Amino acid sequence: MPDRLDLLRAHLQKMNLDALLISSLSHLRYLFSFSGSSGIALVTKDDCYLVTDNRYLEQVKTEVKNAKILIAIRSLFTPLKKENIISDKMHIGFEAAHLTFERFAHLHKTFPATQLIDTENVLESIVMSKQPDELEKTRQACRIACNIFPEILPFIKPGVGENEIAAEISYRFRMAGAEKEAFDIIVASGWRSALPHGIASDKKMQYGEFIVLDFGCTYQGFNSDITRTVALGEPNPELKKMYNAVKRANELARAAVQPEMSAVELDAVARDFFRELGYEKEFNHSLGHGLGIDVHSLPRIGPKSNDKIAIGSIITIEPGVYKSELGGVRIEDDLYIGKDHTELLTPLDRDLLILE
């Protein structure tokens, strides 16, 4: 199995960089197993340095075995200067998407003569292709999420708040061995189900409503992301029609997935199907995204994406139809893209569940 740092150093050599400054917390965990909330790392051709603050002094000693540890009193950049690790002649890449302007300004002030070069998707492209242990951790995150879904259904009743369902999901994630929920859990009922990112609110659920449940958990740093839509009591015919359309779009897209196909082509499978049914405008987001140490990662599966469905990647397929004031439907699954097969990681039933 290729070493993650070796893969990164190969990228640095191609980019003519002397080192990469890493500020993404998920990337710090991916490379060094560091799970703290404050830190940076510098990966050079020969060494690795991880900088954190005093709060994590004992934790970093336990977690990090493949980097030299530096403890910062104030700025995380200061130890790199104090130890003369970064010189004026070096070409240092930094993660532009994960460094605020304020922190970049401080970095530039600390190393004014050093060539600082913004990089894009360096580690993201490495993370996209899953190693066997990474795939297994994602499988387990998906198993946990799938297993708790039927346990949640009895709690969905008239008068119960969306927040109560979200809290029950979060509790059961932890009881099943997950670290946490992977993102703010979406429980959106009635008119709120037409909000693609309708994070759980204090709204009470009522008969005749659709409830969109979008949930996932983190297991040893890797995430799941699943959506199912259920009905509380008999829904109206238009909602049923929307549900059947989304279910079919999900089936068509999953069946169409091929390694190395363009993300635009895959997105078009669902988008063209919705267009034929008159739902093109009601499908107002991308078909899916990559999944791994970050919930949203490469490849981006949408009509304007330049990405391909890489071998070894894990993706989501999440078509949806949303009608203001009436409600919405989304069905989301996670798939592993093998060289000669596709593995469905979320084998939950997709037939419409009508809860009484």
- pLDDT per residue as tens digits for the range 35-55: 999 999 999 999 999 999 999
Give how far Cα 303 sits from Cα of 179, 269, 283, Å.
34, 11, 12
Do 215 and 242 fall within a single domain? yes
Do 162 and 97 fall within a single domain? no
Beta bridge partners of 49: 42, 68
Do 257 and 325 fall within a single domain? yes
Hey, how many other C-beta atoms are within 10 angstroms of the C-beta on 296? 15
- What pLDDT band is residue 28 in, cutting at 50, 70 and 90? very high
- 105 pLDDT more than 60: yes
Angle, helices 4-14 vs 25-32, to 10°: value is 120
Do 116 and 135 fall within a single domain? no
Cα 123 to Cα 21: distance, rounded to the nearest angstrom? 11
Which residue range is the domain that position 83 belongs to? 4-127
Cα 71 to Cα 324: distance, rounded to the nearest angstrom? 52
pLDDT digit string, tens, across residues 145-173 = 999 999 999 999 999 999 999 999 999 99
**Exposure string (b/e) for 178-207, b if CB count within 10 Å is 16 or more?**
bbebbbebbbbbbbbbbbbebbbeebebee
- 1 pLDDT more than 60: no
- Strand duo 209-215 + 186-189: pairing: antiparallel
HSE-CB for 105 with a 13 A CA cutoff: 3
- Reduce the DSSP state of residue 120 to 3 states and report it: coil
Question: Nearest CA to 239 among 318, 320, 326?
Answer: 326
Do 48 and 163 fall within a single domain? no
Taking residues 87-105, what's their average pLDDT?
94
Mean pLDDT of the chain: 97
pTM of the model: 0.94
Hey, how many other C-beta atoms are within 10 angstroms of the C-beta on 13? 10
Tell me, what's the pLDDT at 108? 95
- Strand duo 217-219 + 180-181: pairing: antiparallel
pLDDT-above-90 percentage for the chain? 98
| Residue partners of 353: CB distance under 8 A and separation at least 6 | 153, 228, 230, 231
Do 117 and 142 fall within a single domain? no
At which of 108, 127, 146 does a domain end? 127
What is the CATH number for 207? 3.90.230.10
Token readout for 338 is 């093998």
Do 206 and 330 fall within a single domain? yes
| Residue partners of 31: CB distance under 8 A and separation at least 6 | 4, 5, 8, 22, 41, 43, 48, 66, 123
Q: Alpha-carbon torsion 283, 143, 293, 79, what sign?
A: positive
**Side chain identity, residue 332:** E
At which of 127, 155, 171 does a domain end? 127
Taking residues 324-333, what's their average pLDDT?
97
- 74 pLDDT more than 60: yes
- 266 pLDDT more than 90: yes
Count of domains forming the chain = 2
Do 45 and 135 fall within a single domain? no
- What pLDDT band is residue 2 in, cutting at 50, 70 and 90? low
Q: Are 53 and 76 spatial neighbours (Cβ–Cβ below 8 Å)? A: yes
At which of 78, 108, 127 does a domain end? 127
Helices (H), the chain: 4-14, 25-32, 57-63, 78-82, 101-110, 122-128, 132-152, 162-175, 237-256, 263-277
- Reported residue count of the chain is 356
Do 114 and 140 fall within a single domain? no
pLDDT digit string, tens, across residues 229-264 = 999 999 999 999 999 999 999 999 999 999 999 999
DSSP letter (8 states) at residue 97:
G
Do 110 and 214 fall within a single domain? no
Taking residues 105-123, what's their average pLDDT?
95
- What pLDDT band is residue 293 in, cutting at 50, 70 and 90? very high
Tell me, what's the pLDDT at 141? 99
Do 273 and 286 fall within a single domain? yes
Do 59 and 178 fall within a single domain? no
